[in-house]
């Protein structure tokens, strides 16, 4: 299943927004203090900590999860995020999911392994692209130009790429941009949605069929071009095991066949879910993550590049060919200010849907006016954190999908448009929670 984000174009004018976005990466150090050790200096802005050797900082301890936590610095302030670890992360004695760090904070991974966080004076300038558009993506914020710089570097390589980002941030467009800027641009670009079909059908799409009626695999269809695996987190465990040797050897045997085909395509995978957390839960193979995440690029959510919203609105209005009179309702400075301060759960896709509704209805209601008020979830603190989190998420997803479909009279396409998520993803949520349209 091939999908692509709406086509972006450079607008005729943009609005500058005064906003402090870090254009340098501050160095910091982490040192284990529960055992004799020397400080580890981190110069890349963030660092993953866990028991697996593929972490930037490996802490080989029985109570430390494979990917336990991530530590970083933004705007000169340290932060830590627990990655769904089994035994939790504590900062200065308090268990946290995410927290800010002060210079000298103690981070405990589980009951024993303890690290001291220390800010350093050195910093490196963050590489920014000179471009304001790349393929179908546009943006002039430092966050987006830093992303462009990473995408440009990826385009010059043939290594596997993992594109990470929330729903609606433009992962598919980013994959297309990498392909279009690469030496493979004249070769095929094949996209497979790992969650849009059954496991049996997906196996035949990915690996082909060697017995009549024969079928080429997606790798063979891509030839010397690019194969994009969307929502790689939805790939069933059995197919993860089949994919791994293909990436390791560069050879593929079709389902039910004996002939071996050479794989020449460059692989790009996308995910809206943190694969490291799935590895901790036993739902994703760490060896496959190692093969996919040679180059990891994160697409920033809209809240981290709100200064791009006027540019995005202008581009979308131009692309949909609305009249100046129709566009006036969302080009009003007060309306644009509200849009820049809104919470966009569906990111650029949701923004565009809101703009389309505003043009049709001739009313630019604040996005918050369109969202139901949240209620505090019920939790059982006696459960382990990871299990309680999983149960709460499942309850929320089931309730949200049912309410969304009720609101749209059971029309899945309308529900997907209204909430700003892919229709295929909404179908997956419906199947997962037994909700019928």
Please write the tens of the pLDDT for every residue from 64-96: 999 999 999 988 899 999 999 999 999 999 999
Tokens of 88: 């939790």
Parallel, antiparallel, or unpaired: how do β-strands 77-82 and 46-50 relate? unpaired
Range of the structural domain that residue 51 is part of: 24-125
- Same domain assignment for residues 262 and 223: yes
- Same domain assignment for residues 280 and 394: no
Residue 286 maps to a domain: yes
Split the chain (437 residues) into runs of 10 and give each run's mean pLDDT: 32 33 81 96 96 95 97 93 96 94 97 97 92 95 95 96 95 97 97 91 94 92 97 95 96 91 96 95 96 96 93 92 88 89 87 90 64 53 67 78 81 78 76 74
Residue 347 maps to a domain: yes
Dihedral sign of CA atoms 234, 239, 244, 249 in order: negative
Contact 176, 7 (CB under 8 A): no
Q: Which of 73, 107, 125 is the last residue of a domain?
A: 125
Task: Tell me what pLDDT residue 410 has.
Answer: 82
347 vs 308: CA distance, rounded Å: 12
Pairs from 197-205 (Cβ < 8 Å, separation ≥ 24) = 197/1, 199/236, 199/238, 199/239, 202/235, 202/236, 202/239, 203/238, 203/239, 203/242, 203/255, 204/255
58 vs 268: CA distance, rounded Å: 26
Task: Tell me what pLDDT residue 418 has.
Answer: 76
Question: pTM for the full model?
Answer: 0.78
Residue 2 maps to a domain: no
- Same domain assignment for residues 331 and 391: no
- Same domain assignment for residues 149 and 259: yes
CATH code at 70?
A: 2.60.200.20
- Same domain assignment for residues 157 and 47: no
Structurally, how many domains does the chain consist of?
Answer: 4
């Amino acid at each position: 299943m091939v999908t692509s984000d709406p086509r972006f174009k450079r607008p005729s004018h943009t609005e500058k927004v005064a906003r402090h976005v870090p254009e340098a990466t501050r160095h910091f150090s982490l040192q284990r203090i529960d055992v004799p050790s020397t400080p580890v200096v981190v110069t890349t802005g963030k660092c993953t900590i866990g028991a697996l050797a593929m972490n930037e900082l490996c802490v080989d301890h029985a109570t430390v999860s494979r990917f336990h936590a991530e530590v970083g610095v933004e705007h000169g302030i340290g932060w830590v995020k627990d990655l769904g670890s089994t035994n939790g992360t504590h900062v200065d004695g308090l268990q946290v999911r995410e927290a800010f760090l002060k210079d000298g904070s103690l981070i405990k991974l589980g009951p024993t392994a303890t690290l001291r966080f220390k800010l350093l004076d050195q910093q490196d300038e963050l590489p920014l692209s000179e471009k304001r558009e790349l393929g179908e993506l546009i943006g002039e914020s430092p966050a987006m130009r830093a992303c462009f710089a990473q995408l440009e570097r990826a385009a010059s390589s043939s290594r596997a790429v993992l594109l990470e980002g929330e729903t609606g941030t433009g992962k598919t467009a980013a994959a297309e941009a990498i392909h279009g800027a690469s030496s493979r641009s004249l070769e095929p670009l094949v996209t497979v949605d790992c969650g849009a079909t059954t496991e049996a059908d997906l196996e035949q799409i990915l690996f082909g069929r060697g017995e009549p009626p024969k079928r080429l695999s997606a790798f063979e269809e891509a030839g010397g071009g690019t194969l994009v695996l969307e929502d790689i987190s939805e790939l069933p465990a059995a197919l993860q095991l089949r994919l791994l040797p293909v990436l390791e050897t560069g050879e593929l045997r079709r389902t039910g066949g004996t002939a071996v085909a050479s794989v020449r395509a460059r692989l790009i995978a996308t995910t809206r879910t943190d694969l490291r957390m799935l590895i901790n839960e036993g739902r994703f193979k760490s060896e496959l993550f190692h093969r996919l995440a040679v180059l990891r690029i994160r697409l920033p959510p809209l809240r981290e590049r709100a200064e791009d919203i006027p540019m995005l609105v202008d581009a979308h209005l131009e692309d949909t060919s609305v009249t100046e009179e129709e566009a006036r309702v969302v080009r009003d400075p007060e309306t644009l200010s509200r849009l820049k301060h809104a919470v966009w759960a569906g990111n650029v896709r949701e923004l565009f849907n809101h703009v389309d509704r505003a043009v049709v209805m001739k009313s630019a209601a604040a996005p918050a006016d369109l969202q139901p008020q949240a209620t505090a979830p019920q939790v059982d603190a006696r459960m382990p954190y990871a299990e309680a989190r999983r149960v709460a998420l499942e309850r929320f997803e089931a309730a949200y999908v049912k309410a969304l479909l009720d609101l749209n009279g059971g029309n899945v396409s309308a529900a997907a448009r209204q909430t700003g998520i892919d229709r295929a993803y909404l179908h997956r949520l419906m199947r997962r929670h037994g909700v019928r349209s």
